[in-house]
Amino acid sequence: MKLEEFLRLNAPEDLASLTSAIAEASVSVWDNIPFKSGLLSEVNPSGEKQKAIDVFSNDLFVEALAATGCVREVASEEMAEPVEGKGAFSVAMDPLDGSSNVESNNPLGSIFGFYSKRLPASGRSLAGALYVTYGSMITLTFSFGKGVHRFVATRDGAKMSFELLSVNLKLPDKPEVYGFGGFRKDWITPVRKFVDSLEERGMRIRYCGTFVGDYNQVLCRGGIFAYPQLLKKPQGKLRVLYETAPMAYINEEAGGYASDGSRDILDITPSTLSEPSPAYIGSAPLVHELERMISSEK
């Protein structure tokens, strides 16, 4: 089934328009990666002036989202102030997650949260969330509160279109992989102890350095991703509004749990647009176990 048909049958109109706009723009982002990141010649095929790939993706997504008429504001990791519109949704986005991975051709991603309130707002006001992976395939994974669904980009004549890959994705019961960011020596003690126990249980380390890529394999194989509380950086690194709350929303719809170490990430109301928090996300039993270990060491 094609994305447009699925959206027509399963999504509210506004969220369907936003999703289609993101799908189309994501293909342009992917097309432009070698040019805008300086790996190929300065000028891209359309002869436009060079721009850094993260700024390029930001501008492209802002334009595509604004053109739907469905956004009240778009806030982005790449912009100091949100762009205003007259629609119903506040969109928070990380337009190119993991952009330092371009040269090594590791996966990249884009993250979008569709909030029904003015930003900053808590994850409880998310009406939907979506992430794009630019990996061996371009995939869109999203939820509007009724399960997690995934589409893949395929060529349809001269155009790319998105075909259904899976409906109602759920984290597998048996967790297989884990990936934790930052230096091991900087992790708080319960995190170090927990990771040692994962290796004893036979789970494999998988860490590519792009949140979207690392989380995506947790969703496919079961396990846990974290950017933990660090000894000298208690808030960790990942941003609640742009990164962790939208992924926590999808993860919860897939049967998982996401915590900042003491509470559900969806319950955090950030006081600024780019406020970070520690993030532990994936299979519910593992995240609950780590949350208990962290709280008992306090």
Q: Does 275 bind ligand F6P (CB under 6 A)?
A: no
- Of 163, 105, 112, 173, the C-alpha closest to 134 is 105
Q: Does 182 bind ligand F6P (CB under 6 A)?
A: yes
Q: Does 78 bind ligand F6P (CB under 6 A)?
A: no
Residues 226-265, one symbol each (x = binds ligand F6P by CB under 6 A, - = not), give -x---------x----------------------------
Total residues binding ligand F6P (CB under 6 A): 9
Q: Does 211 bind ligand F6P (CB under 6 A)?
A: yes
Tell me the sheet residues that pair with 89.
71
Cα 265 to Cα 282: distance, rounded to the nearest angstrom: 12
Torsion, Cα of 280, 286, 287, 290 (10° steps)? -90
Identify what 12 binds: ligand F6P, Mn ion, none; CB under 5 to 8 Å per kind.
none
Identify what 210 binds: Mn ion, ligand F6P, none; CB under 5 to 8 Å per kind.
ligand F6P
Identify what 192 binds: Mn ion, ligand F6P, none; CB under 5 to 8 Å per kind.
none
Q: Does 98 bind ligand F6P (CB under 6 A)?
A: yes
Identify what 34 binds: ligand F6P, Mn ion, none; CB under 5 to 8 Å per kind.
none
Cα 209 to Cα 132: distance, rounded to the nearest angstrom: 16
Cα 100 to Cα 91: distance, rounded to the nearest angstrom: 24
The token pair at 276 is: 């970070």
164 within 8 A of 6, measured Cβ to Cβ: yes
Identify what 147 binds: ligand F6P, Mn ion, none; CB under 5 to 8 Å per kind.
none
Q: Does 87 bind ligand F6P (CB under 6 A)?
A: no
Residues 191-210 that bind ligand F6P (CB under 6 A): 209-210
Q: Which residues make up the interface to Mn ion (CB under 5 A)?
A: 94, 97
Site residues, ligand F6P (CB under 6 A): 97-98, 181-182, 209-211, 227, 237
